[in-house]
Amino acid sequence: MIECKNFITALDKYYLKEGINKSRVNAHLKEHHEKLNHTNELGYADWMKSVLDYMSVNECNNKLNNGKLKILDIGSGTGEFVVLMNALGHDATGIDLHTEHLELANILAKENNMDESTFIFNDKKSLPFKDNAFDLITSFSVFEHLEDEVLEWMLPEIFRVCRGCVFTLVPNPIKPIDDHTGLAFLGHMPRWLAIRYISLRGEKYKYSISRSGEWDVYYRYLNEIKKVFNKHNFQLDYLPDEYIYPSLEKCPPVHRLGKNFNFFGRQSFIGISLFPNLFINFGTPKQYFYPYLNLISRPLKND
């Protein structure tokens, strides 16, 4: 089990300083505990192990190093996943530009006898690593926070430092409920309208991890993500269903949009069908309807 007493105490102080109300603080802290394998509700640790085992054998050609992967986590935040990947026997480094998040990550690293060099600050338009330095590059719910301008320099840099593959976990805008605010259908709105709608709903729904303080979520549908990765010489593929997070049992594909209502004791659905079978029969990937996209991108390099 990963040690995190000092880390959780520091997190609590950080959230309160940010002015987040206590109920949301408690929800955040619960999720941090889960990432560190202190509860078993969400299954992060078991999932992480299964995914890294799969990547090592099937994607990163790492059989000669006892399955140990050299990993770079882009947008590592407060560092739980990086510490967890190291605890699972891999060599993981986190990189981020938020100094306060990195300070928290360093507390967690120190608490688990990991060097502070595990986490790196970087706010330049380049990655401070040699070519082909990493077997695996990961990003967990980070891609949706990156503007197009950031992707234009970051993806070529990821291509340069990656000798294996890239794993991207990102919420799909087809999801009815936005993960960041809890509001419905934000992923289906133009960005300007989503920002206006959030503003009208009040301070309670304000969300941002950027320095500007503006809502910094840039939702992209699967076809848009595929286009931008292909543009930068990556071949986009999908993690097999048995490895994706959250599982399809917990978060099934989105086949309709609307809401169930109770009328005189009977449940009735009001909304629209997305006709998934029709689109899939005409060639749309089934993953287009998954609430979370678990993507594998392979850099197409000349040997």
Is the predicted pLDDT of residue 37 greater than 70, yes or no?
Answer: no
Lowest mean pLDDT across 24-33, 105-114, 217-226: 24-33
How many degrees, rounded to 5, is the angle at CA 97 between CA 99 and CA 81?
85
Do the beta carbons of residue 71 and residue 90 sit within 8 Å?
yes
Is the predicted pLDDT of residue 34 greater than 80, yes or no?
Answer: no
Looking at residue 206, its pLDDT comes to 72
C-alpha–C-alpha distance, residues 201 and 183, integer Å: 9
Is the predicted pLDDT of residue 95 greater than 70, yes or no?
Answer: yes
- 21 — pLDDT class (breaks 50, 70, 90): low
Taking only the tens place, the pLDDT of each residue in 121-153 is 999 999 999 999 999 999 999 999 999 999 999
Q: Which CATH number is associated with domain 5-176+217-299?
A: 3.40.50.150
Taking only the tens place, the pLDDT of each residue in 39-70 is 555 578 889 999 999 999 888 866 556 779 99
Do the beta carbons of residue 291 and residue 175 sit within 8 Å?
yes
C-alpha–C-alpha distance, residues 291 and 256, integer Å: 12
Q: Which residue has the tokens 């986190």?
A: 94
| 47 CB-near residues (< 8 Å, 6+ apart) | 243, 245
Distances (CA, A) of 250 to 145, 238, 273: 24, 19, 20
Q: Give mean pLDDT, residues 192-207.
A: 83
Looking at residue 126, its pLDDT comes to 96
Q: Give mean pLDDT, residues 166-186.
A: 91
Distance from first CA to last CA of the chain, Å, rounded? 41
Instruction: Identify any residues that bridge with 91 across adjacent strands, giving them in sequence order.
Output: 70
Is the predicted pLDDT of residue 24 greater than 90, yes or no?
Answer: no
Q: What percent of the chain has pLDDT over 90?
A: 60
Looking at residue 60, its pLDDT comes to 82
Looking at residue 14, its pLDDT comes to 83
Is the predicted pLDDT of residue 104 greater than 60, yes or no?
Answer: yes
